[in-house]
C-alpha cells in the first residue's frame, strides 16, 4: 500500500484541544512497563458499541499473526499491544465513490457516521483508506494512551484497503493481517513500497535507492544472499532511476516474507526504541563500609528469541567477563581511588549485517566505584543507550546527523574523513550532548565519493560510511 504522506501535512494544523473522550482500553499482549517496552495501540473505527467484541477479536488476530512472522516473532518480547475501544455511531467505512474492489465487482457508495471519518478513495485511489478526522485521532490518543509507539487504526469494512504514514490504517478484509504487517513496515520502520507506488513516493530509503554499484549500495552486505540484488522499478521515466533490493518482498507482494534488508531495518528500529536492560543491581548511590564480595547483576534483560544478546563486562578498560548476567567482584582487589565497572549489551543476531553494529546500537550500565580509606566503597550507578542515525544516504547536498542518549555524553567529537583517513570537515569538537543531538551539515564542498562520519564518545569510536553523489 502507499504510505500516505500529503494528508498528514494538511491535518497537523487542526485544532486538537476539543472533544476529548475516554474509552475503555484493553490489553492484548503484555511483556512489561509501557515506559520500557514498545507499545502498539489499536483503535477501531466504524465499530459500534455492540461491535466492540468483534474489534477486540480482529485486533487480537492481527497481533497473533504478526508475532508469528520474522522478525516480529524473534523480538516479540520487546512489545506490548493495547486496544482502545472507540465507539462509532454507525458501522463501516466511508465510500465516496463506487469503485471496483479486489473481492467484489463494485463497492457501494456509503457515508456512515464513523468516529474518525475513515474513508476510501483518498488521492483518487480507492484502496487508499485514511482517517478523515485527524484531530480526533490525536485527541483519543492523548486522552486514553499517550505513551504509544505505533498506532494501528482498524476500520470495520470488508473491502480491501490500507495506508501507512504516521498511523497504519487497514480494513477487516480477509487480507487484513498481511496488510497490517505491510503498513506497519511503512509506519514503524519507514520502509518504502517495493512496487512502484508513484513518482511522489520515490526517495532514498533503507529499501529504495538510485545507487547501482554493488560495492556502494546501502544493502551491499546482503548482496547475493536470499535473492538480494539491485532490481530496477518498472514503468520507465522516473521509475527507471530507482531500485529495490528484492523481487518478492512483503513490501511489494502480500503473503511473502520480508526480504533481509527490510528485516534488518525493522530490527534496527526496535534497537532505537528499546533498551534491553530493564533492571540491574546495585541501583543508585550507596556506601559499603566493609571490604567484601559484591555482586553486580543485570537482573532483567529483554531477550530476543533465541537469545542473541552479548554481554561484555569491563573494569577500568579491561575485559573481565562476558555472556553472563552477573559477576562477583572482590572489593579487596580494588586499589584506593575511583574505578568504573561497565556492562555492555549488544545484539549479535544473524538477521543483521550492519557495519560496526556493536558500536552503533549498544546499551550500558556503569557502576562508578570509589574506594576510600575512611568510608569504604561508594557506588554510583548510571545507565546509557546511545543511538546514531545518518540520513539521507547516499546524499548530494545535506547530511542529517542524529545522536540520542539516555544519559549526558561528554567530550563528543564529530568529523568527516575520507575512506583513507584524511580529515575533511571537523563538525564538532569536545561537545556535550543531553538527550539528543541533531545537525544538518552541508556537504557541497565535498567531491563526489565515499566518506566516513566519525563520532567519538570518549574511548568509543563509531564510523558511519556515507556516499556523496
Q: What is the DSSP string of 76-121?
A: GGGEEEEEE-PPPSS-S-BBSS-B--SSSS-BPPB----TT-EES-
Enter the C-alpha cell of residue 62.
492481527
- Cis ω for the linkage preceding 392 (within 30 of 0): yes
Distance between CA atoms of residues 86 and 84, nearest Å: 6
Q: Indicate the pTM of the whole model.
A: 0.79
Going 351 to 353 to 358 to 363, the CA torsion angle's sign is negative
Q: What is the pLDDT of residue 237?
A: 86
DSSP code at position 239: G
Task: Judge contact between 152 and 191, C-beta under 8 A.
Answer: no
Distance between CA atoms of residues 139 and 388, nearest Å: 32
Q: What is the pLDDT of residue 1?
A: 38
Tell me if residue 209 falls in helix, strand or coil.
strand
DSSP code at position 435: S
| Backbone φ, ψ for residue 229 (5° rounding) | -155, -155
Q: What is the pLDDT of residue 383?
A: 62
Which residue in 258, 125, 259 sits closest to 198, CA to CA? 125
Enter the C-alpha cell of residue 43.
483503535
Domain boundaries, the chain: 6-189, 199-272, 276-381, 392-468
Q: What is the pLDDT of residue 355?
A: 79
**Successive 10-residue mean pLDDT values, the chain, 469 residues:** 33 41 95 94 98 98 96 98 98 81 64 95 86 92 93 95 91 94 94 91 90 92 96 89 96 96 94 89 70 86 97 92 93 84 92 78 82 68 68 79 80 85 87 87 87 77 74
List CB contacts of 394: < 8 A, sequence separation 6 or more: 204, 209, 210, 211, 216, 218, 466, 467, 468, 469
What topology does CATH give the domain 276-381? Immunoglobulin-like (2.60.40)
Please provide the DSSP assignment of 334-399 as one string: SPSEEEEEEEEEEE--TT---TTHHHHSEEEEEEEEEEETTTEEEEEEEEEEEEEEEESSSBSSEE
Tell me if residue 241 falls in helix, strand or coil.
helix
Locus of grid cell 482517517:
131
- Cis ω for the linkage preceding 216 (within 30 of 0): no
pLDDT in tens, 10-32: 333 334 344 568 999 999 999 99
Task: Judge contact between 188 and 268, C-beta under 8 A.
Answer: no
* Ramachandran bin of 124, using left for φ above 0, alpha for ψ from -120 to 50, beta for the remaining angles: left
Q: CATH for 392-468?
A: 2.60.40.2550
List CB contacts of 10: < 8 A, sequence separation 6 or more: none
Domain over 6-189 is classified CATH 2.40.30.10: no
Distance between CA atoms of residues 174 and 178, nearest Å: 9
**CB-CB neighbours of 5 under 10 Å:** 16
Q: What is the pLDDT of residue 458?
A: 66
Q: What is the pLDDT of residue 103?
A: 46
- Cis ω for the linkage preceding 282 (within 30 of 0): yes
Reported as type and span, the H/E element at residue 442 is strand 436-442
Q: What is the pLDDT of residue 382?
A: 62
Domains 6-189 and 276-381 share a fold: no
Buried b (16+ CB within 10 A) or exposed e, 364-402: bbbbebbbeeeeebebebebbbbbbebeebbbeeebebe
Amino acid at each position: 500500500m502507499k504510505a500516505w504522506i500529503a494528508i498528514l501535512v494538511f491535518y497537523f494544523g487542526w485544532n486538537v484541544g476539543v472533544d476529548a473522550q475516554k474509552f475503555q482500553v484493553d490489553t492484548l499482549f503484555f511483556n512489561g512497563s509501557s515506559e520500557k517496552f514498545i507499545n502498539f495501540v489499536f483503535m477501531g473505527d466504524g465499530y459500534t458499541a455492540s461491535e466492540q467484541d468483534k474489534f477486540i477479536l480482529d485486533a487480537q488476530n492481527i497481533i497473533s499473526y504478526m508475532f508469528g512472522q520474522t522478525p516480529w516473532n524473534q523480538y516479540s518480547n520487546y512489545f506490548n499491544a493495547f486496544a482502545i475501544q472507540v465507539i462509532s455511531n454507525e458501522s463501516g467505512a466511508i465510500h465516496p465513490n463506487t469503485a471496483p474492489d479486489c473481492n467484489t465487482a463494485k463497492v457501494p457508495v456509503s457515508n456512515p457516521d464513523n468516529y474518525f471519518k475513515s474513508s476510501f478513495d483518498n488521492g483518487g485511489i480507492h484502496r487508499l483508506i485514511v482517517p478523515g478526522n485527524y484531530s480526533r485521532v490525536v485527541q483519543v490518543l492523548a486522552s486514553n494512551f499517550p505513551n504509544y509507539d505505533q498506532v494501528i487504526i482498524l476500520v470495520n469494512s470488508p473491502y480491501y484497503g490500507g495506508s501507512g504514514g504516521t498511523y497504519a490504517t487497514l480494513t477487516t478484509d480477509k487480507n487484513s493481517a498481511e496488510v497490517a504487517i505491510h503498513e506497519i513496515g511503512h509506519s514503524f520502520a519507514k520502509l518504502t513500497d517495493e512496487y512502484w507506488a508513484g513518482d511522489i513516493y520515490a526517495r532514498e530509503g533503507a529499501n529504495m535507492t538510485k545507487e547501482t554499484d554493488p560495492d556502494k549500495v546501502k544493502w551491499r552486505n546482503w548482496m547475493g544472499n536470499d535473492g538480494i540484488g539491485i532490481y530496477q522499478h518498472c514503468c520507465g521515466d522516473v521509475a527507471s532511476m530507482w531500485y529495490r533490493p528484492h523481487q518478492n518482498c512483503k513490501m511489494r507482494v502480500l503473503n511473502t516474507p520480508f526480504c533481509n534488508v527490510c528485516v534488518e531495518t525493522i530490527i534496527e528500529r526496535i534497537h532505537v526504541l528499546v533498551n534491553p536492560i530493564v533492571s540491574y543491581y546495585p541501583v543508585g548511590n550507596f556506601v559499603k563500609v566493609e571490604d567484601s564480595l559484591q555482586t553486580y547483576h543485570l537482573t532483567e534483560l529483554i531477550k530476543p528469541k533465541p537469545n542473541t544478546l552479548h554481554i561484555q563486562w569491563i573494569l577500568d578498560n579491561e575485559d573481565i567477563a562476558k555472556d553472563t548476567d552477573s559477576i562477583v567482584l572482590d572489593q579487596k582487589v580494588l586499589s584506593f581511588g575511583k574505578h568504573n565497572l561497565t556492562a555492555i549489551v549488544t545484539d549479535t543476531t544473524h538477521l543483521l549485517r550492519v557495519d560496526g553494529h556493536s558500536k552503533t546500537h549498544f546499551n550500558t550500565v556503569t557502576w562508578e566505584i570509589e574506594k576510600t580509606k575512611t568510608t569504604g566503597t561508594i557506588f554510583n550507578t548510571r545507565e546509557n543507550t546511545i543511538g546514531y542515525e545518518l540520513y539521507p544516504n547516499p546524499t548530494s547536498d545535506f547530511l542529517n546527523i542524529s545522536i540520542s542518549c539516555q544519559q549526558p555524553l561528554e567530550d563528543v567529537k564529530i568529523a568527516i574523513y575520507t575512506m583513507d583517513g584524511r580529515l575533511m570537515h571537523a563538525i564538532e569538537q569536545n561537545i556535550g550532548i543531553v538527550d539528543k543531538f541533531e545537525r544538518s551539515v552541508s556537504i557541497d564542498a565535498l567531491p563526489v565519493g565515499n566518506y566516513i562520519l566519525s563520532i567519538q564518545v570518549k574511548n568509543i569510536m563509531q564510523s558511519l560510511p556515507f556516499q556523496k553523489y
